[in-house]
Structure 1
């Protein structure tokens, strides 16, 4: 039986830990994983300026080749013990579709796996990283007008990511589709999310894509649930959308996080 973690970060992540790649692999082996995907945050598209206060959302272009070399090195080191995939988490940024397609044409040939995620949403000419901090999210509420309007903008952007033509190397797995829930226990949503999520799942099914069943939200004190929660997973399963567990680990101790709270076991 394949036991896979399809969403793992590395010391190449500027906002992660410096835990070595080998430590991630050894921990994965101890947890019984037979396959893992390193999915580092891909360099942001040409011309896009990281709007987070620390500007540490993604790996730099200067680190890209070294990242591939490191993953290839450990592939050989652990051959026969565990299947290791070289992957990326690609940011979908509205308005930068062409630049993202060009980047994927460069990056894609060296990838075994990839995730397409939305972290940044657009309001006119402004871009905001919605999962940066609760303080930042509170400022966004003032800009967008309400929590509900942020959710609407987020789900619209995820839908755009599913529909976008990003070329032959477009990732086929959609990342943490309810990431907007990260601070929900402080900033609750009042409305019916099904009106946005149900059609979104239909689009994902139509495109033949997978869902990242992400355990990281369970460890976030203002979220305390997987991305996405059970009711979304139930709808996805009815549609027979493939689910791939991802710890979204940014440090070794986070491998396997949330797995005990998932609706299905992997």
Structure 2
């Protein structure tokens, strides 16, 4: 079985590190991975204002050609030891579907892989970043009415992302489907969480999509579980949904992090 890390960021990420592409590749090789996908945050659509304080959520459009060039170069450099794929983590943003489809139409042909994720939530004509900080989650929960309402808004947006028509290059892997759990020790998940996630998994199955089995949550102080959490991951596996391991590394040393959890939950 191939050992794949399908969700890795790069020095092109404004909120990541300056670790070079070759550092990620060499760590992957040392850990016995045979395949790695660089999935940098795709540029946010024109007209959308990044709601985080430093406006650093994504790769700037002005750097996209350099990103593509550099990943293609490292693909060639390590081709004997590691299959490297060029990808993007594309944000689904409610109301910006046409702009996102346009981006994918333009760059889809160079993409070997991709992830479709939800980070930004629309509430009463304004956008908020779900996972930026615990303070941001608390503020959004105040605006929505409760943490439960914030979970609900997140899952509704994920549902829209699964069903959205984003053209023929729409990524077929849904990113960190239970990201709302990032601060769950402070804002516990609602009782209905698993039932709602189960319905989303049925939509994923019907669409023939994959799931990002994202271990970043294990490294978050107020989470300590992967996305999706164990019960949901087991259900996804039973439903025949492919779960693709992703470290969501933003520093080279996190490449392959917590792969053993994926082995125990998914491969067993």
TM-score, normalising length from structure 1?
A: 0.98
| RMSD (CA atoms) | 1.0
**Aligned mates of 2:233, 2:16 — CA distance in 1:** 28
CA contact (8 A) 1:219 1:257 kept: no
Are the counterparts in 2 of residues 116 and 161 from structure 1 also a CA contact under 8 Å? yes
Measure how far apart 1:189 and its partner are.
2.4
Secondary structure of the 1:67 match is: helix
Give 1:265 shift. 4.0
Task: Give the equivalent residue in structure 1 for 2:226.
Answer: 226
* SS across alignment from 1:249: coil
2:26 is matched with: 26
Which deviates more, 213-222 or 133-142?
133-142
Contact 1:226 1:258 in 2 (8 A): no
Distance 2:196 2:105 in 1: 31
Q: Which runs of 5+ in 1 are unaligned?
A: none
Bigger drift between 231-240 and 188-197 goes to 188-197
4+ residue stretches of structure 1 with deviation over 2 A?
A: none
Output the CA distance in 2 between the equivalents of 1:14 and 1:38.
15
Gaps of 5+ in 2: none
Q: Does the aligned pair in 1 maintain the 2:90–2:115 contact within 8 Å?
A: yes
2:114 maps to what in 1?
Answer: 114
Could you tell me whether the CA contact under 8 Å between 1:34 and 1:81 is conserved in 2? yes
| TM-score, length of structure 2 as denominator length | 0.97
Q: Could you report, residue by residue, the CA deviation over 1:123-168 in whole angstroms, capped at 9, with x for unpaired residues?
A: 1201110000111111111111101000000000000000000001
Q: How many residues align?
A: 266
Q: Once the two structures are superposed, what CA deviation does each residue of 1:43-73 show, in whole Å capped at 9, x if it has no partner?
A: 0012111001111000000110000000110
Residues 143-198 of structure 1: CA deviation (Å, up to 9, x unaligned): 11101000000000000000000001000000000111001111112322123111
